[in-house]
């Protein structure tokens, strides 16, 4: 375990009133197809302790292969209890954002985990490669079956004035087989190369993602929030930018040396081997 010295106004673990947990590489690891989850040491016990203490928590993945309901079930089936209201994906953030901006018609490049929550919420969803040149927005998510016609549909919608969003620009995510390619950022880059339009990220580490987590935690402000994750550029970046308590774990993409190699102001408040060490600290 390592800690980083912060100024006196920095958040502390003692001041935490709610937890945000990354999933892949933090609480569990899936296979490269993002199925077959296996819990990481301490994950089940840590969440059980938080429930016992009535401490709110959410799971927040940047993945969009599954809907929140599907992911909640997959995790609960292996003993990591996160109910559907506690389970966030970038599409959860997009729902809030699109409603606020008054969007009605959305072109989606993505599978069920991307289009279904939008359709269930009442949006007029068009699934690429079908065209929707009159779309208010284009949302890119997990879409390994991408073909050229999808790029054509997205670019035509953007040329016609649609706003462009992606769930993430992360190049990869953690799985049991090592790094798994992050599809959405690559597709967003392809659309940008044609249209010149840069996609807005709705997932971590965006300010919208942090606001969504705060709402799901019952209004817990970032200063009283702990964000736990394995990715320097996602969870750690979101925590530090938002004034939250950052806990970096070494069970996914980044290891202890990666966290320690950051400039001191960019390091997590705690750098731990895994959530099992956080469990020990909270007991």
- What pLDDT, on a 0 to 100 scale, did the predictor assign at position 193? 97
Return the residue matching tokens 């809030």. Answer: 96
Is the predicted pLDDT of residue 81 greater than 90, yes or no? yes
Which of these, 96, 156, 99, 90, lies nearest to 126 by C-alpha position? 156
* The predicted structure's pLDDT at residue 255: 93
In this prediction, residues 132-136 reach a mean pLDDT of: 98
Q: Are residues 13 and 76 in the same domain?
A: yes
Last residue of a domain, one of 166, 201, 236: 201
Residues 197 and 211 reside in one and the same domain: no
269 has pLDDT over 50: yes
| Section 150-174 average pLDDT | 90
Strand 245-249 to 270-272 pairing: parallel
Q: Is the peptide bond before 44 cis (omega within 30 degrees of 0)?
A: no
More confident residue, 7 or 155: 155
Q: Based on the domain organization, do 82 and 113 belong to the same domain?
A: no
Cβ atoms within 10 Å of 5's Cβ, excluding its own: 8
Residue 7: is its pLDDT beyond 70? no
- Whether residues 41 and 99 share a domain: the answer is no
Average pLDDT over residues 182-202: 94
So what's the pLDDT on residue 9? Answer: 61
pLDDT of residue 123: 98
The two three-digit tokens of residue 254, written as one number: 């980044």
- Position 5 confidence tier, pLDDT thresholds 50, 70, 90: very low
Q: pTM of the entire structure?
A: 0.91
Q: Looking at residues 212-241, what average pLDDT do you find?
A: 97
Token pair listed for 282: 């909270």
User: Is the pLDDT score of 4 beyond 80?
Assistant: no
Q: Does residue 10 register a pLDDT over 70?
A: no
Of 181, 201, 221, which one is at a domain's C-terminal end? 201
Residue 132 has pLDDT above 90, yes or no: yes
Pairing of strands 28-29, 105-109: unpaired
Is the model's pLDDT at 175 over the cut of 60?
no
Domain count for the chain: 2
Q: Which of 201, 234, 252 is the last residue of a domain?
A: 201
pLDDT at 29 over 50: yes
The CATH number of the domain where 16 resides is what?
A: 3.40.50.1000
Please provide the distance, in angstroms rounded to a whole number, between the alpha carbons at the two ends of the chain.
16
Residue that the structure tokens 């490049």 belong to: 109
- Chain position carrying tokens 């429930």: 51
Which pLDDT band holds residue 219 (cuts at 50, 70, 90)? Answer: very high
Measure the CA–CA gap between 208 and 150, rounded to whole angstroms: 26
Sheet arrangement for strand 225-229: 2-3, 270-272, 245-249, 225-229, 18-21, 57-60, 87-88
Given a cut of 90, whether residue 273 has pLDDT beyond it is yes
Verify that 173 and 241 share a domain, yes or no.
no
Domain around 225: 2-90+205-282
Contacts of 25 (CB under 8 A, 6+ apart): 40, 173, 174, 229, 230, 231, 249, 251, 252, 253
Write the DSSP string, the chain: -EE----TTS--GGG--EEEE--BTTTEE--TTS-S-EEPTTHHHHHHHHHHTT--EEEE-S--SS-HHHHHHHHHTTT----GGGEE-HHHHHHHHHHHTT--EEEEES-HHHHHHHHHTT-EEEETTS--TT-SEEEE---TT--HHHHHHHHHHHHTT-EEEES---SEEEETTEEEE-HHHHHHHHHHHHH-PPPEE-STTSHHHHHHHHHHTTS--GGGEEEEES-IIIIIHHHHHHTPEEEEESSSS--HHHHHTS-GGGS-SEEES-HHHHHHHH-
């Amino acid at each position: 375990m390592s800690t980083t010295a912060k100024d006196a106004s920095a958040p502390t673990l003692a001041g935490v009133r709610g937890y945000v947990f990354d999933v892949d590489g933090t609480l569990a690891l899936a296979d490269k197809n993002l199925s077959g989850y296996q819990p990481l040491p301490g994950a089940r016990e840590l969440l059980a302790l938080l429930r016992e203490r009535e401490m709110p928590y959410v799971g927040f993945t940047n993945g969009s292969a599954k809907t929140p309901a599907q992911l909640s079930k997959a995790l609960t089936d292996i003993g990591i209890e996160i109910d559907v209201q506690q389970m966030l994906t970038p599409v959860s953030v997009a729902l809030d954002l699109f409603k606020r901006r008054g969007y009605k018609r959305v072109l989606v490049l993505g599978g069920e985990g991307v289009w279904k929550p939008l359709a269930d919420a009442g949006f007029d969803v068009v699934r690429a490669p079908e065209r929707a040149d009159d779309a208010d927005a284009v949302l890119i998510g997990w879409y390994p079956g991408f073909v050229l016609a999808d790029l054509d549909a997205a670019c035509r919608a953007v040329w016609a004035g649609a706003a462009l969003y992606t769930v993430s620009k992360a190049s990869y995510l953690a799985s049991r087989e090592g790094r798994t390619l992050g599809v959405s950022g690559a597709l967003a880059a392809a659309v940008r190369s044609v249209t010149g339009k840069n996609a807005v990220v709705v997932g971590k580490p965006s300010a919208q993602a942090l606001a969504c987590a705060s709402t799901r935690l019952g209004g817990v402000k970032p200063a009283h929030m702990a964000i736990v994750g394995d990715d320097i550029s996602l969870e750690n970046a979101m925590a530090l930018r938002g004034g939250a308590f950052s806990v970096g774990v070494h069970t996914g993409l980044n290891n202890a040396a990666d966290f320690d190699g950051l400039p001191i102001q960019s390091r997590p408040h705690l750098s731990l081997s895994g959530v099992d060490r956080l469990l020990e600290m909270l007991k």
